């Protein structure tokens, strides 16, 4: 999805979660079939997790597209069948099947695809390079954005950052979590998943943490790299503005919508 102006797209993972009902996020009495409609008018993006576990029908992607506002964006978790394998170079068929499964029905609402790897997957430069070569840059005339979420310490090195940059693939930035953080910018966009919400705060995070993540998102969107995050490659030269995908994930999940809305309010200000 090409954009003329950088956007900070902020949201949560999925929209179906029982504790969000009854006034916590969704209004009392709202029917489940209208939850996406409601959530997409409070948030600016949602990361779909269901695609990680199984395929969806093209008509389902079209339905999601039609239920959401024009400026709304979905990111998709790629299927685990492509990433949870010993030899990544053999994932070509799974990658092709996913791209052809109907995701392009989202049209301009298709954001980035997050290829999430298991915590046991270690960095093998040759095999990972072969996998990144399998990710198509375009499909049916549409530019595709890919992000890789790696969760093993061996990826915290300059060689991995350089490889991701060579392929123009974003490294998913893990915030406030036990997963290894690699905050090097490696693509024309940034993909961050923050996981530190707690029950102690009504908005999941305290005001100081919300201010910090809003500031980091602004810095990324201007083409710079914020301080205070773990990086391992050479600092990139100054770039033009970038889109930022910022998702409040895991942590105390009941408060994640409140945290995302608080971030949207700060970014709007």
Q: What is the CA radius of gyration of the chain?
A: 18
DSSP helix/strand/coil, 210: helix
Residue 160 CA to its chain's centroid (Å): 19
- Gap between the Cα atoms of 239 and 253, Å rounded: 34
User: What pLDDT digit, counting tens, does each position of 65-112 carry?
Assistant: 999 999 999 999 999 999 999 999 999 999 999 999 999 999 999 999
Residue 1: band (very low, low, confident or very high) from pLDDT cuts 50, 70, 90: very low
- Gap between the Cα atoms of 256 and 124, Å rounded: 34
At 238 the pLDDT is 66
Domain locations along the chain? 8-268
5 neighbors 33 (Cβ within 8 angstroms)? no
At 3 the pLDDT is 40
Is the pLDDT score of 4 beyond 70? no
At 106 the pLDDT is 98
* pLDDT average, residue stretch 260-266: 98
User: What pLDDT digit, counting tens, does each position of 181-240 carry?
Assistant: 999 999 999 999 999 999 999 999 999 999 999 999 999 999 999 999 999 998 877 678
Phi and psi torsions of 211, nearest 5°: -60, -40
**CA-closest candidate to residue 230, choices 176, 168, 190, 184:** 184
* pLDDT average, residue stretch 136-159: 98
pTM: 0.96
- Gap between the Cα atoms of 113 and 189, Å rounded: 12
Is the pLDDT score of 136 beyond 60? yes
Domain 8-268 is of which CATH architecture? Alpha-Beta Barrel (3.20)
Token pair listed for 154: 């061996």
Q: Please state, for a pLDDT cut of 90, what percent of the chain lies above it.
A: 94
Q: Please state, for a pLDDT cut of 70, what percent of the chain lies above it.
A: 98
């Amino acid at each position: 999805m090409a954009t003329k102006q950088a956007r900070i797209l902020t949201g949560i993972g999925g929209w179906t979660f029982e504790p969000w009902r009854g006034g916590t996020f969704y209004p009392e009495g709202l029917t489940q079939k209208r939850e996406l409609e409601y959530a997409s008018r409070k948030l600016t993006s949602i990361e779909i997790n269901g695609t990680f576990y199984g395929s969806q029908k093209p008509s389902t992607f079209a339905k999601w597209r039609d239920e959401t506002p024009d400026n709304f964006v979905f990111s998709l978790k790629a299927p685990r069948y492509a990433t949870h394998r010993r030899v990544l170079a053999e994932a070509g068929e799974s990658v092709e099947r996913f791209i052809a499964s109907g995701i392009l029905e989202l049209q301009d609402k298709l954001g980035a695809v997050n290829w999430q790897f298991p915590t046991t997957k270690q960095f093998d430069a040759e095999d990972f390079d072969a996998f990144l070569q399998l990710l198509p840059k375009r499909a049916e005339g549409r530019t595709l954005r890919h992000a890789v979420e790696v969760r093993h310490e061996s990826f915290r090195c300059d060689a991995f950052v350089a490889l991701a940059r060579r392929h123009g693939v974003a490294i998913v930035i893990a915030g406030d979590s036990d997963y290894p953080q690699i905050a090097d910018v490696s693509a024309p966009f940034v993909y961050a998943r923050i996981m530190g919400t707690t029950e102690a705060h009504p908005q999941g995070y305290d005001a100081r943490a919300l201010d910090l993540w809003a500031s980091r998102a602004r810095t990324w969107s201007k083409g710079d790299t914020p301080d205070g995050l773990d990086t391992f490659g050479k600092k990139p030269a100054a770039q033009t503005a970038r889109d930022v995908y910022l998702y409040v994930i895991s942590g105390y999940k009941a408060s994640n919508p409140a945290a995302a809305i608080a971030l949207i309010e700060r970014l709007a200000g």
